[in-house]
Amino acid sequence: MPETLEIDVEQLMERIRDSQGKHRSEVPLSKSDTLTPESQKLVDFSFLQSEYDIQHVPLTSHRKVIGRFIVVAKNILRQLLTPVLERQAALNMANARVASYLREQVEGGRQQQTAALESLRASILEQQTALESFRASILEQQTAALESLRASILEQQTAALESLRAAILEQQTAALENLQTVILEQVQAWRRLTERRFGGLEQMMSRFHQRTRTEWEMVLTHLRTEEIRPIVVETERRLAEWEIALQRTRTEWEMVLTHLRTEEIRPIVVETERRLAEWEKALARLKTDYILQERRVTVLLEEARKRLPEPLSPDQLQTIHEEGKHVLEALYVSFEDQFRGTREDIKERFQIYLPLLEQAGLGTDSMPVLDVGCGRGEWLELLREKGLRAQGLDLNRVLVEDCKRQGLMAVEGEVIAYLSSLPANSLGAVTGFHIVEHLPFDVLVRLFDETVRVLKPGGVAIFETPNPANVLVGSHNFYLDPSHRNPLPSATLEFIAEARGLCQVEIMELHPYPLSSRVKDGDSEIIDRFNAYFYGPQDYAVVGRKV
């Protein structure tokens, strides 16, 4: 059996690949480098179709001496590899056919894609044209509908305003007539009451002994000149002013109604409602004034009856003197309304103190708040809206009665006497807004002493006052209130608070002038300091805690 010839197929294939690489390398680099991707594809496809027959590739050699022997050896080797080369040639031919088929398919698909894109582009253009037409139609319909709706709304509003105008005219006329009638009735009743009281008092005096009569007439003269007569005269004057004001307002209102136009209804109604609210507030305060004056007259008569026909005792004279301290309370309330600001403004300013109470857990039944010098009760009203328990204290009876009418808890009393009556460790917070500047120094120190005594551990004290570091406040605004004693610098009040037992004392600077009030020309340290001194915080608050 002949010896089997062993052929290294891997080595043979490696040589074939090297040969193909050399063949491809015959293409100049400068030329291949300049080909585009599409041109390179065409070259590769042409090579695949023309060079698939590797069996009949000419064999050569670059060696001169042994070249012929090498060529003979290669031919022998090719004869030995004929089956392999035939299969490779067949495979290359199949690859060429498949590549030709795929190319035809790709070209066909590309043509179909181009046709589909053209068709899609035409369809999109048609749809865009249809959408533009539809948009124009919708816009035209919407415009027509809006015009129709506008005309309908305008017609309805005109009818509603005419109806509202007629109703408002009728209501305001009736309200003004009723208000005038009520005021006239109250004036006449007060005059009758005053005449009856003083007439009876003079008749009673005529029945006493001449000496007693003489002493009593001296007392009565004193009372009339210093207590009763100014009150009666002031009351009658104010009533007369109110009658004149109401008559003038009624005349102005009738003139306005004569020239009223539809677009003017709302501003006039708002202004009328505002003025009516002011009248109602003034009438309520006037009623309180009447009640307080009647109380004073009753006290005077009661003290006089106790001693008739004897002269008045020192205690009774003291009682009469104490009543005299309340004569100017209504005037001070009017002053507060003029210069203090509206209730809404004051409540907005007080919002800054709410976090102090909430963080400390104050305003509960076990940690109530006491506001000394509660005034019109804006702070009490704000605490009530937040669900916190608080009570107010004030010397002014008119203000206390005003707070009670609003459903707020308020009592009449002097601050030191009231705090002294409370047990130690009984309050969660003591607040006082614009009260410390009214107190003498010794009373101010006692206020802090009593505050520390009645506060529970963890309680807070807050006292707000005008800031004299602001030149406008310290030199002018502070003295608008004639009951102010002297400005208190923040360092002074902070020292007193710490010296009398409050801890963690801090100063809160509040309410600077608006930026529109400041000097804006230039940007220098002098202008900044000027704005700070003249337009800085108008108030400050000292806040202390009990540990």
- Cβ-in-10-Å burial (0-12, 13-18, 19+) of 408 comes to buried
- Side chain identity at residue 33, one-letter code: D
- 177 contacts 254 by C-beta, under 8 angstroms: no
| Per-residue confidence (pLDDT) for residue 168, from 0 to 100 | 74
| Per-residue confidence (pLDDT) for residue 470, from 0 to 100 | 96
Q: Taking the C-alpha atoms of 323, 326, 328 and 331 in order, what is their torsion angle to the nearest 10 degrees?
A: -140
Where b means 16+ CB within 10 Å and e means fewer, 480-519 reads: ebeeeeebbebeebbebbeebbbeebebbeebbbeeeebe
- 475 contacts 497 by C-beta, under 8 angstroms: no
CATH C-level class of 341-545: alpha beta
pTM over 0.75: no
Angstrom distance (rounded) from CA 363 to CA 22:
100
Q: Which two tokens stand for residue 115?
A: 């046709």
Angstrom distance (rounded) from CA 214 to CA 216:
5
- 289 contacts 235 by C-beta, under 8 angstroms: yes
Q: What 8-state DSSP symbol labels residue 313?
A: P
Q: What 8-state DSSP symbol labels residue 311?
A: P
- 468 contacts 489 by C-beta, under 8 angstroms: yes
| Per-residue confidence (pLDDT) for residue 424, from 0 to 100 | 95
| Per-residue confidence (pLDDT) for residue 369, from 0 to 100 | 97
pLDDT (tens, 9 = 90+) of the chain, 547 residues, equals 444 344 455 555 565 556 555 555 544 444 445 556 666 666 666 666 666 566 566 666 666 667 777 777 777 877 777 777 777 777 777 777 787 788 788 888 888 888 888 888 898 998 888 888 888 888 888 888 888 888 888 888 778 777 777 777 787 677 667 766 766 676 566 656 555 544 544 454 444 344 444 544 554 555 445 555 566 566 666 666 766 766 676 666 666 555 554 455 556 656 666 666 666 666 656 655 655 555 555 555 555 555 545 555 566 455 544 555 555 666 666 667 677 778 889 999 999 999 999 999 999 999 999 999 999 999 999 999 999 999 999 988 888 988 998 999 999 999 999 999 999 999 999 999 999 999 999 999 999 999 999 999 999 999 999 999 999 999 999 998 888 999 999 999 999 999 999 999 999 999 999 988 888 866 788 888 999 999 999 999 999 999 9
Q: What 8-state DSSP symbol labels residue 352?
A: G
| SS3 category, 256 | helix
Bond into 309 cis (ω within 30): yes
| Per-residue confidence (pLDDT) for residue 210, from 0 to 100 | 47
| Per-residue confidence (pLDDT) for residue 150, from 0 to 100 | 82
